[in-house]
A = this chain, B = another copy of it.
Amino acid sequence: MNIILASTSTLFGGTYLTYLKKEIVSLFDGIEEIIFIPFARPGGISCDEYTDKAKAFFAELQIKVRGLHEFDDQTKAIQEAKGYFTGGGNTFLLVKTLHENGLMEVLKSNVENGKAYLGCSAGSNIGGLNMKTTNDMPIVYPPSFDCMGLVPFNINPHYLDPNPDLKHNGETRETRIMEFLTQNDIKVIGLREGSWIRRIGDRISTEGTEKTRIFEKNKTPYELEPGTIL
């Protein structure tokens, strides 16, 4: 497999995908056209608008982008593509659309057979076993929370450390993930912004500028340095 699952598309104060550019060039090496999966629709923007944003970035790399929503036969479009990019937004909307259109399994089998996959945020959540560690609001009801399982764990993107200055009684991210572990025995990778998971064949590693926080059932959470094999 040939996969990047990134915490975010955009670092604070940065521009779209810039911090990942070198890694993206390597991921899509030799590929002239990819499919963009826009269904997470951040802020409710249209699939066309969102695809235009991806097109603008990939034009710099001489890679053509077509939005999956543009195709009458989306299953065929996935089968015939050489690479994929799923953008962030709302994971519930993304997963609902993929399941209802019968695309989750098709995408999974194509990526498992070696086609390049880039996911950011919600697009990384669907690379995990299920979407039960998304941070998103459940604005729509998907027929299932199951995802592709391109890696043998779950992802929590935009992982955020507790803020001791916050005078607010909402749960911390760590509390939420620990609640997940009371109901599920699945490893969770807390990806801070600036970090990503890279899978090349069977080699899965943590990458980027930040440490990665790992949560497992009945264990104290622990940190991994960038470059660690998972």
Chain A residues packing against B (C-beta within 8 Å): 8, 10-13, 41-44, 89-90, 92-93, 131-141, 144-145, 158, 160, 167-171, 175-184, 193
A169 and B178 in contact, given A93-B183, A132-B137, A141-B145 (Cβ under 8 angstroms):
no
Q: Which residues of B contact A137 (CB under 8 A)?
A: 132-135, 176-177, 179-180
Min CB gap A169→B, angstroms = 5
Q: Which residues of B contact A10 (CB under 8 A)?
A: 169
Min CB gap A6→B, angstroms = 12
> Mostly helix, strand, loop or mixed at chain A's interface?
loop
Q: Which residues of B contact A41 (CB under 8 A)?
A: 179, 182
Q: Which residues of B contact A176 (CB under 8 A)?
A: 136-137, 139
- 15 A-B Cβ contacts within 8 A? A11-B169, A12-B168, A43-B182, A92-B138, A93-B183, A131-B138, A132-B139, A133-B137, A133-B139, A137-B177, A137-B179, A139-B176, A140-B183, A141-B145, A158-B169
Q: Which of B134, B140, B182, B193 contacts A44 (CB 8 A)?
A: B182
* Copies of this protein chain in the complex: 2
Q: Which residues of B contact A135 (CB under 8 A)?
A: 137, 170
Min CB gap A161→B, angstroms = 10
Nearest B residue (CB) for A141:
B145
**B175 contacts A168, CB within 8 Å?**
no
A129 CA / B12 CA spacing, docked (Å): 36
Q: Which residues of B contact A42 (CB under 8 A)?
A: 171, 179
Q: Which residues of B contact A141 (CB under 8 A)?
A: 132, 144-145
Min CB gap A47→B, angstroms = 12
Q: Which residues of B contact A13 (CB under 8 A)?
A: 167
**B44 contacts A178, CB within 8 Å?**
yes
